[in-house]
A and B are shown apart, each in its own frame.
Chain A
Amino acid sequence: MESCNCIEPQWPADELLMRYQYISDFFIALAYFSIPLELIYFVKKSAVFPYRWVLVQFGAFIVLCGATHLINLWTFTMHSRTVAIVMTAAKVLTAAVSCATALMLVHIIPDLLSVKTRELFLKNKAAELDREMGLIRTQEETGRHVRMLTHEIRSTLDRHTILKTTLVELGRTLALEECALWMPTRSGVELQLSYTLRHQNPVGFTVPIQLPVINQVFSTNRAVKISPNSPVAKLRPSGKYMQGEVVAVRVPLLHLSNFQINDWPELSTKRYALMVLMLPSDSARQWHVHELELVEVVADQVAVALSHAAILEESMRARDLLMEQNVALDLARREAETAVCARNDFLAVMNHEMRTPMHAIIALSSLLQETELTPEQRLMVETILKSSNLLATLINDVLDLSRLEDGSLQLDIEPFDLHGLFKEVLNLIKPIASVKKLFVTLSMSSDLPEYAIGDEKRLMQIMLNVVGNAVKFSREGGISISASVAKSDSLRDPRAPDFFPVFSDNHFYLRVQVKDTGSGISPQDIPKLFTKFAQSQSLAAKNSGGSGLGLAICKRFVNLMDGYIWLESEGLGKGCTAIFMVKLGLRGRSNEAAPIHVQSPCKSWTNNFTGLKVIVMDDNGVSRMVTKGLLVHLGCDVATVSSGDECLKVVNNEHKVVFMDVSIPGIDIYAVAVRIHEKFARRRDRPLIVALTGNTDRVTKESCMRVGMDGVILKPVSVDKMRSVLSELLDHGVLLEAQ
């Protein structure tokens, strides 16, 4: 039998010791086997474990160690060589694997340690981010508070509300104990306590503005921590507790003038208010940065809101002022209108009142002239006549001028005989000129139309004035008058820079030149000639009569006729030339439709109206009967109607004339006229329409003409008037003049 190579124990194997060793080895083996199992199990469970290979190694190492201890179990008793070999193999393997593992661990453990470090680092980072998040949230809160505050402040335009709201909201947001606003006084040397949060009515505490602490606050736009003992902060009676921290900030008070385009308000404001904020006294609160920022932002917003309020106040004040001015202007205008009305009334009355006696004087004096008089008496009567004529002219001139001044004068535009007008002027002036032994010549150009449309009377007045002046100021020689049609090149005269003639087919410009060989006028005096009442010395000496109004009136008449008048003279003693141009209408080419004959030309109805069928429309029975009687007396066959509808029903093409009373209320006479026009398409069939009315003012006349009436007659109508009206109507088909 082979004996084992085990070393014989020195002492006999103790049964107990061997047993314990046996058990321990068993448990060790068990543990060694179970650890890798646990490891595998848990690693399998975890998703991330980068060191599998290490694990395998480790596992192998442990398993082998376990195996070794297990095999050891058999070596406590007599064991065979196989067991010894297995034991040896196991030990060898175990040694190899453990060494390998040991070598591997050298690489791995630093890695593992660094993982730990990174983990720590990340944890720190996370903590930091958390802190920052907290900060951002706080800032956002602040921002929200500011927005809300701003909204509150800006929702009102009233100064006091703005300031009060600011304090209240700030107090609430920041949980302040006290919040106060110090406003600069008018004089600017003191700050006055204007608003506080807790005290309802701050009694006017004032502090001088030049305190160092105040200057410190005013010099920066940041919120500044100030000592609770400074005069601006001593608002509460000093308590037993520690006063909380105090912060002050400036509030710029902006004025309208501060808002320049290129100039930001900071640079130009001079006045500041002081806002003082106090934290609650017995808390350990401190002013945080974000709170200070909030305060600064609010202070700025308040400034803006205040300036808006100021602008609003300003504009309201301006508007009130404007309204007052408007009212005053309105009043003034009405007063002026009343004055003008009063003046016009006065003039109208005086017109009549002054002219009547004048006429009487002139008429009676001329009659007196016709009687038998002694030479002395004759002289006296002549003087009376001359003076009263002068006076009459003066009265007329003044009244005319005042009417011209306020533009109430209207030209009477009618067709007239132009050639005839000149001839008449000539006839009027020749006797006077011949007395002074002056010659008068008239030359009319060949293209001067025979008839023109304009205000004949006033044109005559202008002519007489101009020619009369020429005669007046000439001692010898003569007057030459020339009339022509102005050509376009001669119209734009350098001497008449303001005159812009407009050409049209219906009008022409009459150019009249009156040249005299008289005393002339010095060039300086020429502009003065047209101003009323102005007379130069030299003129006055020679001028025994005349008020100086003549040329002024002429100028105004010429202007009314869209024309221009001016005088030329080469100097004293060299004569004078007066030139004027006026716009006149051309006859035959104007817009007024020329009347055409309606009746058959052979029969002349002029004095024989027998059987003439007419209609009389009048709602007043008496008036109707009278008009009918009138027409029946003249031989007409009269049908009477009392309304527009009846008239339209009755009228037919046998009726030659329809007389309509225009004063019928409620009936639109003009509409009836239009309907009659419509009813009779051809002009030959249509009866003539004549309006009977109580007033012949322009408006009525024009309205009647506009709707196509053929004439207007003023009531009351006499037999003779009716007779002439009828004859004119039937001869010419239209009444040219209102009768």
Chain B
Amino acid sequence: MDGVILLQKQLVDYSTSLYKEGFLDDQFKQLQQLQDESNPDFVVEVVYLFFEDSERLLNELSKTLSQQIVDFKKVDAHVHQLKGSSSSIGAQRVQKVCIAFRNYCEEQNTEGCLRCLQLVKHEYSLVKNKLETMFKLEKQVLGAGGSIPMH
């Protein structure tokens, strides 16, 4: 039983740190609230959908920004989508970069956009890692027979 409690504590500490460091915000908590017996994997499903969506969008962005003549409208549309998705699951840092990204798009500043793209990719990979780690911890807890503590 000790092991479970230890694992649970690890999980709690980890997710608290995520919130403190601003990787996740309140919205993620809301998502977790929506998970129940009828919908046991809701959060994971949503998060993986987010990963798919974001990877696709980031690829599109790279392609569009590497063109000779950059179509800023397209770039803006993609960033808008990314912003929406990230705010829906509570990926706060990604969302913040998207906001700055959109500003550069409005100014039609290719340099700035490229920098933001790098930043977004970086933030995305960070939050992806964190979330995957968290899910792994959750699985371990469940595997050890415990339940995931609610905040």
Contacts and interface: CB of A to CB of B under 8 A. Distances in A.
- Are the chains A and B members of one assembly? yes
Contact of B36 (A622, A627, A633): A633
A738 B39 CA distance: 30
Interface stretch (B45-53, B107-115, B122-130, B142-150): B45-53
9 closest cross-chain pairs (CB), A and B: A622-B85, A623-B88, A620-B84, A633-B34, A626-B88, A629-B34, A622-B88, A622-B50, A716-B27
Contacts, number: 63
B77 A665 contact: yes
Nearest to B31: A626
Contacts of B38: 632
A630 B49 contact: no
Nearest to B86: A622
A719 B85 contact: no
B89 interface: yes
Contacts of A621: 49, 53, 85
Contacts of A625: 45-46, 49, 88
A665 B76 CA distance: 10
Interface in B11-61: 26-27, 30-31, 33-34, 36, 38-39, 42, 45-46, 49-50, 53
Interface in A694-739: 715-719
A630 B29 CA distance: 12
Contacts of B50: 622
Interface of A: 619-623, 625-627, 629-630, 632-633, 663, 665, 715-719
Interface of B: 26-27, 30-31, 33-34, 36, 38-39, 42, 45-46, 49-50, 53, 77, 80-81, 84-90
Contacts of A620: 53, 81, 84-85, 88
Contacts of B36: 633
A623 B27 CA distance: 11
B30 A622 contact: no
A715 B87 CA distance: 9
A629 B39 contact: yes
A663 B84 contact: yes
B34 A716 contact: no
Nearest to B56: A621
B45 to A, nearest CB: 7
Contact of A622 (B33, B42, B53, B80): B53
A626 B30 CA distance: 9
Contacts of A629: 31, 34, 39, 42, 46
B77 A719 contact: no
Nearest to B29: A718
Given A622-B85, A623-B84, A627-B88, 13 more contacts: A620-B85, A622-B49, A622-B50, A622-B53, A625-B49, A629-B31, A629-B39, A629-B42, A632-B34, A633-B39, A663-B84, A665-B80, A716-B90
B39 A716 contact: no
Nearest to B90: A716
B54 to A, nearest CB: 8
6 contacts: A621-B49, A623-B84, A629-B34, A629-B39, A632-B38, A715-B87
Nearest to A719: B33
Given A633-B39, A663-B80, A663-B84, A622 B34 contact: no
B100 to A, nearest CB: 16
